[in-house]
Chain A
Amino acid sequence: MKKILVTFGMLLLGTSDVMATTAATVNGIEITVDEANKALKVLSKDKMTWEKLPEDGKTQLVQMMAPSKLVSEAARKELSEKEKEVALSGFWMQRSMSKMSISDKKAKEVYEKMKKAAKAAKSKEKIPDFDKAKQSIKMQIAQEEILTKLMKNADIKIK
Protein backbone atom coordinates (compact mmCIF):
# COMPACT_ATOMS: atom_id res chain seq x y z
CA MET A 1 0.00 0.00 0.00
CA LYS A 2 2.81 2.34 0.97
CA LYS A 3 4.56 1.57 -2.29
CA ILE A 4 1.41 2.36 -4.31
CA LEU A 5 1.00 5.72 -2.54
CA VAL A 6 4.61 6.65 -3.19
CA THR A 7 4.26 5.75 -6.85
CA PHE A 8 1.00 7.75 -7.10
CA GLY A 9 2.65 10.75 -5.45
CA MET A 10 5.58 10.57 -7.80
CA LEU A 11 3.26 10.41 -10.78
CA LEU A 12 1.42 13.51 -9.52
CA LEU A 13 4.70 15.29 -8.99
CA GLY A 14 5.76 14.39 -12.49
CA THR A 15 2.50 15.65 -14.00
CA SER A 16 2.55 18.95 -12.12
CA ASP A 17 6.14 19.44 -13.21
CA VAL A 18 5.20 19.00 -16.89
CA MET A 19 2.26 21.39 -16.47
CA ALA A 20 4.52 23.97 -14.89
CA THR A 21 7.18 23.87 -17.60
CA THR A 22 4.75 24.06 -20.53
CA ALA A 23 3.59 27.60 -21.17
CA ALA A 24 1.61 26.70 -24.28
CA THR A 25 1.37 24.36 -27.23
CA VAL A 26 1.13 25.39 -30.90
CA ASN A 27 -0.30 22.60 -33.05
CA GLY A 28 0.95 20.30 -30.30
CA ILE A 29 4.47 21.81 -30.31
CA GLU A 30 5.51 22.85 -26.83
CA ILE A 31 6.53 26.35 -25.79
CA THR A 32 8.22 26.00 -22.41
CA VAL A 33 7.98 28.56 -19.59
CA ASP A 34 11.72 28.90 -19.94
CA GLU A 35 11.39 29.86 -23.60
CA ALA A 36 8.55 32.27 -22.78
CA ASN A 37 10.66 33.89 -20.06
CA LYS A 38 13.61 34.23 -22.42
CA ALA A 39 11.40 36.05 -24.93
CA LEU A 40 9.89 38.21 -22.19
CA LYS A 41 13.31 39.13 -20.88
CA VAL A 42 14.14 40.69 -24.22
CA LEU A 43 10.70 42.22 -24.84
CA SER A 44 10.19 43.72 -21.37
CA LYS A 45 13.86 44.45 -20.75
CA ASP A 46 13.95 42.02 -17.85
CA LYS A 47 10.86 43.50 -16.17
CA MET A 48 8.29 40.78 -16.75
CA THR A 49 8.09 37.03 -16.24
CA TRP A 50 5.59 34.42 -17.47
CA GLU A 51 4.22 34.01 -13.95
CA LYS A 52 3.50 37.73 -13.55
CA LEU A 53 2.08 38.20 -17.06
CA PRO A 54 -1.71 38.70 -17.29
CA GLU A 55 -3.80 36.33 -19.39
CA ASP A 56 -4.09 38.61 -22.44
CA GLY A 57 -0.35 39.26 -22.27
CA LYS A 58 0.28 35.52 -22.26
CA THR A 59 -2.02 35.06 -25.26
CA GLN A 60 -0.23 37.84 -27.12
CA LEU A 61 3.18 36.46 -26.29
CA VAL A 62 2.30 32.91 -27.36
CA GLN A 63 0.80 34.18 -30.61
CA MET A 64 4.00 36.09 -31.19
CA MET A 65 6.16 33.04 -30.55
CA ALA A 66 3.96 30.63 -32.51
CA PRO A 67 5.24 31.36 -36.07
CA SER A 68 8.82 30.76 -35.02
CA LYS A 69 7.83 27.39 -33.53
CA LEU A 70 5.91 26.52 -36.68
CA VAL A 71 8.87 27.45 -38.90
CA SER A 72 11.11 25.14 -36.88
CA GLU A 73 8.60 22.33 -37.24
CA ALA A 74 8.14 22.94 -40.96
CA ALA A 75 11.91 23.03 -41.49
CA ARG A 76 12.30 19.77 -39.60
CA LYS A 77 9.53 18.09 -41.60
CA GLU A 78 9.83 19.63 -45.05
CA LEU A 79 13.56 19.88 -45.64
CA SER A 80 15.08 16.72 -47.03
CA GLU A 81 17.86 14.97 -45.13
CA LYS A 82 20.28 16.02 -47.86
CA GLU A 83 19.24 19.69 -47.58
CA LYS A 84 19.68 19.58 -43.81
CA GLU A 85 23.07 17.93 -44.11
CA VAL A 86 24.31 20.45 -46.66
CA ALA A 87 23.07 23.42 -44.61
CA LEU A 88 24.53 22.24 -41.32
CA SER A 89 27.84 21.13 -42.83
CA GLY A 90 28.11 24.41 -44.73
CA PHE A 91 27.57 26.42 -41.58
CA TRP A 92 30.05 24.38 -39.55
CA MET A 93 32.62 24.52 -42.32
CA GLN A 94 32.28 28.31 -42.63
CA ARG A 95 32.67 28.71 -38.90
CA SER A 96 35.72 26.45 -38.79
CA MET A 97 37.30 28.19 -41.77
CA SER A 98 36.82 31.62 -40.20
CA LYS A 99 39.06 30.49 -37.33
CA MET A 100 41.88 29.54 -39.71
CA SER A 101 44.51 31.74 -41.25
CA ILE A 102 46.07 30.84 -44.60
CA SER A 103 49.06 32.89 -45.68
CA ASP A 104 49.32 34.65 -49.03
CA LYS A 105 52.49 32.66 -49.68
CA LYS A 106 50.69 29.36 -49.37
CA ALA A 107 47.83 30.56 -51.53
CA LYS A 108 50.32 31.73 -54.16
CA GLU A 109 51.99 28.29 -54.18
CA VAL A 110 48.67 26.58 -54.78
CA TYR A 111 47.76 29.16 -57.43
CA GLU A 112 50.99 28.50 -59.33
CA LYS A 113 50.38 24.75 -59.16
CA MET A 114 46.86 25.18 -60.48
CA LYS A 115 48.10 27.46 -63.24
CA LYS A 116 50.72 24.90 -64.23
CA ALA A 117 48.15 22.10 -64.23
CA ALA A 118 45.78 24.14 -66.39
CA LYS A 119 48.60 24.82 -68.83
CA ALA A 120 49.54 21.15 -68.94
CA ALA A 121 45.93 20.21 -69.59
CA LYS A 122 45.82 22.83 -72.38
CA SER A 123 42.80 24.38 -70.73
CA LYS A 124 41.14 27.12 -72.76
CA GLU A 125 39.61 28.72 -69.69
CA LYS A 126 41.09 32.05 -68.74
CA ILE A 127 43.05 31.87 -65.50
CA PRO A 128 42.20 34.83 -63.24
CA ASP A 129 44.90 36.97 -61.67
CA PHE A 130 46.18 35.84 -58.30
CA ASP A 131 44.64 38.80 -56.48
CA LYS A 132 41.22 37.93 -57.83
CA ALA A 133 41.51 34.21 -57.08
CA LYS A 134 43.34 34.58 -53.75
CA GLN A 135 40.34 34.52 -51.45
CA SER A 136 38.71 31.53 -53.05
CA ILE A 137 42.01 29.63 -53.10
CA LYS A 138 42.49 30.36 -49.39
CA MET A 139 39.03 28.99 -48.71
CA GLN A 140 39.78 25.85 -50.71
CA ILE A 141 43.01 25.29 -48.79
CA ALA A 142 41.26 25.81 -45.44
CA GLN A 143 38.46 23.42 -46.38
CA GLU A 144 40.93 20.79 -47.53
CA GLU A 145 42.96 21.12 -44.34
CA ILE A 146 39.86 20.71 -42.19
CA LEU A 147 38.70 17.65 -44.12
CA THR A 148 42.16 16.09 -44.09
CA LYS A 149 42.29 16.49 -40.33
CA LEU A 150 38.85 14.95 -39.95
CA MET A 151 39.71 12.03 -42.21
CA LYS A 152 42.93 11.37 -40.30
CA ASN A 153 40.92 10.64 -37.19
CA ALA A 154 38.20 8.69 -38.96
CA ASP A 155 37.79 5.00 -38.26
CA ILE A 156 37.31 3.41 -41.71
CA LYS A 157 36.96 -0.33 -42.12
CA ILE A 158 36.55 -1.92 -45.56
CA LYS A 159 34.91 -5.35 -45.67
Chain B
Amino acid sequence: MKKSIFAMGLSLLVLQSPLAADTLKNSLTNILNDKNSVGMVNLDNLSINGKPKSTTHFKKRSPNTIISTVKGYKIRKKEADAFLNKVTKGKVKDYDRLPKKQRKIVIKELVKIHTLKNKKSRPPTAVIATVNGIKIIKKEADSFLKRMTSGRVEDFDKLDKKQQKLLIRDLARPIVLKSTVDKNLTVEEKDGILRQVWLEKQKSAIDVTNDEMLALYEEKKAQSLAANPNAVIPPYLTIGKQLRGEVIERKITQKLMKDVKIKINFENNTSKDSNKSTKII
Protein backbone atom coordinates (compact mmCIF):
# COMPACT_ATOMS: atom_id res chain seq x y z
CA MET B 1 0.00 0.00 0.00
CA LYS B 2 2.78 2.37 1.00
CA LYS B 3 4.62 1.46 -2.22
CA SER B 4 1.63 2.15 -4.49
CA ILE B 5 1.01 5.53 -2.85
CA PHE B 6 4.66 6.41 -3.42
CA ALA B 7 4.44 5.34 -7.11
CA MET B 8 1.30 7.50 -7.63
CA GLY B 9 2.99 10.48 -6.03
CA LEU B 10 6.00 10.05 -8.28
CA SER B 11 3.93 9.85 -11.49
CA LEU B 12 2.00 12.99 -10.46
CA LEU B 13 5.28 14.76 -9.91
CA VAL B 14 6.48 13.72 -13.37
CA LEU B 15 3.23 14.96 -15.01
CA GLN B 16 3.49 18.33 -13.32
CA SER B 17 7.17 18.93 -14.25
CA PRO B 18 7.77 22.01 -16.46
CA LEU B 19 7.40 21.53 -20.21
CA ALA B 20 10.46 23.69 -20.80
CA ALA B 21 12.66 20.79 -19.94
CA ASP B 22 11.07 18.56 -22.62
CA THR B 23 13.64 19.23 -25.34
CA LEU B 24 16.57 18.39 -23.17
CA LYS B 25 14.75 15.40 -21.59
CA ASN B 26 13.79 13.95 -24.98
CA SER B 27 17.31 14.32 -26.23
CA LEU B 28 18.69 12.47 -23.20
CA THR B 29 16.09 9.68 -23.50
CA ASN B 30 17.01 9.24 -27.18
CA ILE B 31 20.65 8.77 -26.30
CA LEU B 32 19.75 5.99 -23.93
CA ASN B 33 17.34 4.18 -26.28
CA ASP B 34 18.93 4.74 -29.70
CA LYS B 35 21.62 2.26 -30.59
CA ASN B 36 22.92 4.49 -33.41
CA SER B 37 23.17 7.54 -31.22
CA VAL B 38 26.53 9.29 -31.10
CA GLY B 39 25.84 10.13 -27.50
CA MET B 40 25.54 13.89 -27.94
CA VAL B 41 22.81 16.12 -26.49
CA ASN B 42 20.70 17.76 -29.24
CA LEU B 43 20.49 21.47 -28.55
CA ASP B 44 18.91 22.42 -31.93
CA ASN B 45 15.69 23.70 -30.45
CA LEU B 46 17.32 25.93 -27.93
CA SER B 47 17.81 29.59 -28.86
CA ILE B 48 21.28 30.81 -28.16
CA ASN B 49 20.83 34.22 -29.89
CA GLY B 50 18.19 35.52 -27.55
CA LYS B 51 19.08 38.76 -25.79
CA PRO B 52 18.06 39.34 -22.25
CA LYS B 53 14.84 41.35 -22.07
CA SER B 54 15.24 45.01 -21.29
CA THR B 55 14.28 45.77 -17.80
CA THR B 56 13.94 49.57 -18.24
CA HIS B 57 11.55 50.91 -15.69
CA PHE B 58 9.32 53.87 -16.62
CA LYS B 59 8.28 56.47 -14.21
CA LYS B 60 4.52 56.33 -14.64
CA ARG B 61 2.89 59.63 -13.75
CA SER B 62 -0.73 60.19 -12.87
CA PRO B 63 -3.11 61.22 -15.70
CA ASN B 64 -3.60 64.66 -14.19
CA THR B 65 0.08 65.50 -14.07
CA ILE B 66 0.90 68.66 -16.00
CA ILE B 67 3.56 67.51 -18.44
CA SER B 68 4.16 70.84 -20.13
CA THR B 69 3.01 74.49 -20.08
CA VAL B 70 3.14 76.44 -23.34
CA LYS B 71 2.05 80.09 -23.30
CA GLY B 72 -0.20 79.45 -20.34
CA TYR B 73 -1.68 76.29 -21.83
CA LYS B 74 -1.23 73.51 -19.30
CA ILE B 75 -1.00 70.12 -20.97
CA ARG B 76 -1.99 67.21 -18.76
CA LYS B 77 -0.68 63.69 -19.28
CA LYS B 78 -4.14 62.31 -19.99
CA GLU B 79 -4.45 64.68 -23.00
CA ALA B 80 -1.16 63.45 -24.42
CA ASP B 81 -2.14 59.84 -23.74
CA ALA B 82 -5.47 60.29 -25.51
CA PHE B 83 -3.75 61.95 -28.47
CA LEU B 84 -1.21 59.16 -28.69
CA ASN B 85 -3.90 56.52 -28.46
CA LYS B 86 -5.77 58.19 -31.32
CA VAL B 87 -2.85 58.74 -33.69
CA THR B 88 -1.29 55.32 -33.11
CA LYS B 89 -4.69 53.61 -33.30
CA GLY B 90 -4.27 52.22 -29.80
CA LYS B 91 -0.72 50.95 -30.24
CA VAL B 92 0.82 53.51 -27.90
CA LYS B 93 -1.14 54.84 -24.98
CA ASP B 94 1.42 56.09 -22.49
CA TYR B 95 3.22 59.38 -23.05
CA ASP B 96 5.82 58.49 -20.44
CA ARG B 97 7.00 55.56 -22.53
CA LEU B 98 8.08 57.82 -25.40
CA PRO B 99 11.65 58.97 -25.91
CA LYS B 100 12.32 62.71 -25.44
CA LYS B 101 12.33 63.53 -29.15
CA GLN B 102 8.87 62.03 -29.68
CA ARG B 103 7.52 63.69 -26.54
CA LYS B 104 8.50 67.04 -28.01
CA ILE B 105 6.59 66.24 -31.22
CA VAL B 106 3.49 65.26 -29.24
CA ILE B 107 3.61 68.50 -27.24
CA LYS B 108 4.05 70.51 -30.45
CA GLU B 109 1.03 68.82 -32.02
CA LEU B 110 -1.10 69.32 -28.92
CA VAL B 111 -0.21 73.02 -28.86
CA LYS B 112 -1.13 73.29 -32.54
CA ILE B 113 -4.50 71.63 -31.93
CA HIS B 114 -5.13 73.82 -28.88
CA THR B 115 -4.26 77.00 -30.80
CA LEU B 116 -6.56 76.11 -33.70
CA LYS B 117 -9.34 75.10 -31.33
CA ASN B 118 -9.20 78.42 -29.59
CA LYS B 119 -8.63 80.50 -32.71
CA LYS B 120 -11.46 82.92 -33.33
CA SER B 121 -13.35 82.22 -36.54
CA ARG B 122 -13.93 85.03 -39.00
CA PRO B 123 -17.47 85.87 -40.16
CA PRO B 124 -18.81 83.89 -43.16
CA THR B 125 -18.54 86.91 -45.46
CA ALA B 126 -14.89 87.61 -44.64
CA VAL B 127 -12.55 87.55 -47.64
CA ILE B 128 -10.07 84.77 -46.93
CA ALA B 129 -8.18 84.82 -50.23
CA THR B 130 -7.98 86.40 -53.66
CA VAL B 131 -7.28 84.50 -56.86
CA ASN B 132 -6.28 86.69 -59.79
CA GLY B 133 -8.09 89.49 -57.98
CA ILE B 134 -11.28 87.45 -57.49
CA LYS B 135 -12.36 87.25 -53.86
CA ILE B 136 -13.03 83.97 -52.04
CA ILE B 137 -15.20 84.40 -48.98
CA LYS B 138 -15.05 82.19 -45.91
CA LYS B 139 -18.52 80.76 -46.53
CA GLU B 140 -17.37 79.25 -49.84
CA ALA B 141 -14.29 77.70 -48.25
CA ASP B 142 -16.32 76.35 -45.33
CA SER B 143 -18.87 74.64 -47.54
CA PHE B 144 -16.11 73.24 -49.77
CA LEU B 145 -14.32 71.93 -46.70
CA LYS B 146 -17.51 70.39 -45.36
CA ARG B 147 -18.06 68.63 -48.67
CA MET B 148 -14.47 67.41 -48.86
CA THR B 149 -14.42 66.03 -45.32
CA SER B 150 -17.96 64.61 -45.46
CA GLY B 151 -19.04 67.03 -42.75
CA ARG B 152 -16.20 66.29 -40.32
CA VAL B 153 -14.57 69.74 -40.62
CA GLU B 154 -16.44 72.85 -41.64
CA ASP B 155 -14.44 75.82 -40.43
CA PHE B 156 -11.65 77.09 -42.65
CA ASP B 157 -10.13 79.02 -39.76
CA LYS B 158 -9.62 75.81 -37.79
CA LEU B 159 -7.18 74.49 -40.37
CA ASP B 160 -3.47 75.02 -40.08
CA LYS B 161 -1.67 77.20 -42.61
CA LYS B 162 -0.53 74.31 -44.80
CA GLN B 163 -4.04 72.88 -44.98
CA GLN B 164 -5.49 76.32 -45.71
CA LYS B 165 -3.05 76.75 -48.57
CA LEU B 166 -4.00 73.40 -50.05
CA LEU B 167 -7.71 74.12 -49.75
CA ILE B 168 -7.37 77.54 -51.38
CA ARG B 169 -5.42 75.96 -54.20
CA ASP B 170 -8.27 73.53 -54.79
CA LEU B 171 -10.80 76.35 -54.67
CA ALA B 172 -8.66 78.46 -56.99
CA ARG B 173 -8.59 75.90 -59.80
CA PRO B 174 -12.09 76.57 -61.22
CA ILE B 175 -11.61 80.33 -60.74
CA VAL B 176 -8.36 80.34 -62.68
CA LEU B 177 -9.90 78.13 -65.34
CA LYS B 178 -12.94 80.40 -65.64
CA SER B 179 -10.90 83.56 -66.06
CA THR B 180 -8.74 81.83 -68.69
CA VAL B 181 -11.81 80.63 -70.55
CA ASP B 182 -13.36 84.11 -70.43
CA LYS B 183 -10.23 85.58 -71.96
CA ASN B 184 -9.68 82.93 -74.61
CA LEU B 185 -13.14 82.28 -76.06
CA THR B 186 -14.82 84.72 -78.43
CA VAL B 187 -18.38 85.97 -77.84
CA GLU B 188 -19.54 83.88 -80.83
CA GLU B 189 -17.88 80.74 -79.51
CA LYS B 190 -19.44 81.21 -76.08
CA ASP B 191 -22.87 81.84 -77.61
CA GLY B 192 -22.60 78.73 -79.76
CA ILE B 193 -21.60 76.49 -76.84
CA LEU B 194 -24.33 77.77 -74.54
CA ARG B 195 -26.95 77.40 -77.27
CA GLN B 196 -25.86 73.82 -77.81
CA VAL B 197 -26.12 73.06 -74.09
CA TRP B 198 -29.54 74.69 -73.82
CA LEU B 199 -30.83 72.79 -76.86
CA GLU B 200 -29.52 69.49 -75.52
CA LYS B 201 -31.24 70.17 -72.22
CA GLN B 202 -34.53 70.90 -73.98
CA LYS B 203 -34.21 67.84 -76.19
CA SER B 204 -33.79 65.53 -73.24
CA ALA B 205 -37.03 66.84 -71.71
CA ILE B 206 -39.21 66.46 -74.83
CA ASP B 207 -41.25 63.34 -75.51
CA VAL B 208 -41.89 62.26 -79.09
CA THR B 209 -44.67 59.84 -79.98
CA ASN B 210 -44.67 57.39 -82.87
CA ASP B 211 -47.66 59.19 -84.37
CA GLU B 212 -45.76 62.48 -84.47
CA MET B 213 -42.82 60.84 -86.20
CA LEU B 214 -45.10 59.06 -88.67
CA ALA B 215 -46.93 62.31 -89.47
CA LEU B 216 -43.63 64.03 -90.23
CA TYR B 217 -42.53 61.08 -92.36
CA GLU B 218 -45.70 61.29 -94.42
CA GLU B 219 -45.33 65.05 -94.77
CA LYS B 220 -41.73 64.76 -95.98
CA LYS B 221 -42.63 61.87 -98.27
CA ALA B 222 -45.41 63.92 -99.88
CA GLN B 223 -43.04 66.86 -100.31
CA SER B 224 -40.35 64.72 -101.93
CA LEU B 225 -42.80 63.02 -104.31
CA ALA B 226 -44.33 66.37 -105.25
CA ALA B 227 -40.89 67.65 -106.16
CA ASN B 228 -39.83 64.44 -107.89
CA PRO B 229 -42.40 61.66 -108.53
CA ASN B 230 -39.55 59.18 -108.99
CA ALA B 231 -37.82 60.03 -105.72
CA VAL B 232 -36.63 57.05 -103.69
CA ILE B 233 -38.22 57.27 -100.24
CA PRO B 234 -36.30 55.50 -97.48
CA PRO B 235 -38.39 53.18 -95.28
CA TYR B 236 -39.80 54.77 -92.13
CA LEU B 237 -37.86 52.52 -89.76
CA THR B 238 -34.47 53.42 -91.26
CA ILE B 239 -34.80 57.15 -90.53
CA GLY B 240 -36.43 56.98 -87.10
CA LYS B 241 -33.60 58.79 -85.30
CA GLN B 242 -33.54 61.62 -87.83
CA LEU B 243 -37.32 62.02 -87.67
CA ARG B 244 -37.27 62.10 -83.89
CA GLY B 245 -34.65 64.86 -83.95
CA GLU B 246 -36.68 66.89 -86.40
CA VAL B 247 -39.88 66.57 -84.36
CA ILE B 248 -38.00 67.76 -81.30
CA GLU B 249 -36.53 70.73 -83.19
CA ARG B 250 -39.98 71.71 -84.44
CA LYS B 251 -41.40 71.53 -80.94
CA ILE B 252 -38.63 73.71 -79.55
CA THR B 253 -39.06 76.27 -82.33
CA GLN B 254 -42.84 76.32 -81.85
CA LYS B 255 -42.37 76.96 -78.15
CA LEU B 256 -39.85 79.71 -78.77
CA MET B 257 -41.84 81.46 -81.48
CA LYS B 258 -45.07 81.47 -79.49
CA ASP B 259 -46.23 85.09 -79.01
CA VAL B 260 -42.97 86.36 -80.43
CA LYS B 261 -42.82 90.07 -81.23
CA ILE B 262 -40.79 90.80 -84.34
CA LYS B 263 -40.06 94.32 -85.56
CA ILE B 264 -38.38 94.80 -88.92
CA ASN B 265 -36.64 97.93 -90.13
CA PHE B 266 -37.35 98.09 -93.85
CA GLU B 267 -35.23 99.98 -96.33
CA ASN B 268 -37.24 103.18 -95.99
CA ASN B 269 -36.83 102.94 -92.19
CA THR B 270 -40.50 102.48 -91.55
CA SER B 271 -41.14 99.88 -88.90
CA LYS B 272 -43.67 97.10 -89.45
CA ASP B 273 -44.79 94.62 -86.85
CA SER B 274 -44.75 90.98 -87.78
CA ASN B 275 -46.75 88.69 -85.51
CA LYS B 276 -46.78 85.47 -87.48
CA SER B 277 -45.88 83.72 -84.29
CA THR B 278 -46.92 80.29 -85.42
CA LYS B 279 -44.81 80.15 -88.52
CA ILE B 280 -42.49 77.16 -88.36
CA ILE B 281 -39.11 77.61 -89.82
A residues in contact (CB < 8 Å) with B? 19, 22-28, 51, 55, 58-59, 62-64, 66-68, 70-72, 74-76, 78-79, 83-85, 87-89, 91-93, 147, 150-151, 154-159
Is A159 touching B198 in the complex (CB atoms < 8 A)? no
Is B131 touching A156 in the complex (CB atoms < 8 A)? yes
Is A62 touching B128 in the complex (CB atoms < 8 A)? no
Answer whether residue B195 sits at the interface, using C-beta atoms and an 8 A cutoff.
yes
CA distance A110 to B165 in the complex (A): 26
Complex interface bits, B161-189 against A, C-beta within 8 A gives 1, otherwise 0: 00011001100111011101110110001
- Shortest Cβ distance from residue B188 to the other chain A in the assembled complex, whole angstroms: 10
* Dominant secondary structure at the B interface: helix
With known contacts A79-B198, A83-B197, A70–B260 Cβ distance under 8 A: yes
Complex interface bits, B231-265 against A, C-beta within 8 A gives 1, otherwise 0: 00000000000000000000011001100111111
- Shortest Cβ distance from residue A13 to the other chain B in the assembled complex, whole angstroms: 15
With known contacts A19-B269, A155-B133, A59–B274 Cβ distance under 8 A: yes
Is A89 touching B262 in the complex (CB atoms < 8 A)? no
Residue of B nearest to A71 (CB): B195
Residues in chain A near residue B279, CB distance under 8 A: 63
With known contacts A23-B264, A26-B260, A64–B281 Cβ distance under 8 A: yes
Residues in chain B near residue A74, CB distance under 8 A: 198, 256
Is B197 touching A59 in the complex (CB atoms < 8 A)? no
* Extra inter-chain contacts (20) besides given A25-B261, A27-B261, A151-B173, CB under 8 Å: A24-B263, A28-B261, A66-B260, A70-B256, A71-B199, A71-B252, A75-B195, A76-B194, A85-B178, A87-B194, A87-B196, A91-B185, A92-B180, A150-B176, A150-B180, A154-B172, A156-B131, A158-B165, A158-B168, A159-B129
Is A150 touching B177 in the complex (CB atoms < 8 A)? yes
When A and B form their complex, which 9 residue pairs have the shortest distance between CB atoms, in order from nearest? A75-B198, A75-B194, A70-B256, A24-B264, A92-B181, A87-B197, A154-B176, A25-B263, A158-B129
With known contacts A151-B169, A156-B172, A89–B178 Cβ distance under 8 A: yes
* Dominant secondary structure at the A interface: helix
Is B194 touching A79 in the complex (CB atoms < 8 A)? yes
Residues in chain B near residue A28, CB distance under 8 A: 261
B residues in contact (CB < 8 Å) with A? 127-133, 164-165, 168-169, 172-174, 176-178, 180-182, 184-185, 189-191, 193-199, 201, 252-253, 256-257, 260-267, 269, 272, 274, 276, 279, 281
CA distance A64 to B190 in the complex (A): 22
With known contacts A27-B261, A67-B253, A156–B168 Cβ distance under 8 A: yes
Is A88 touching B193 in the complex (CB atoms < 8 A)? yes
Is A63 touching B281 in the complex (CB atoms < 8 A)? yes
CA distance A156 to B177 in the complex (A): 13
Residue of B nearest to A91 (CB): B193
Q: What are 15 A-B pairs with beta-carbon distances under 8 A?
A: A23-B265, A24-B264, A28-B261, A62-B274, A63-B281, A79-B198, A88-B181, A88-B182, A88-B185, A89-B177, A89-B178, A93-B177, A154-B131, A154-B132, A157-B130
Residues in chain B near residue A26, CB distance under 8 A: 260-262
Residue of A nearest to B197 (CB): A87
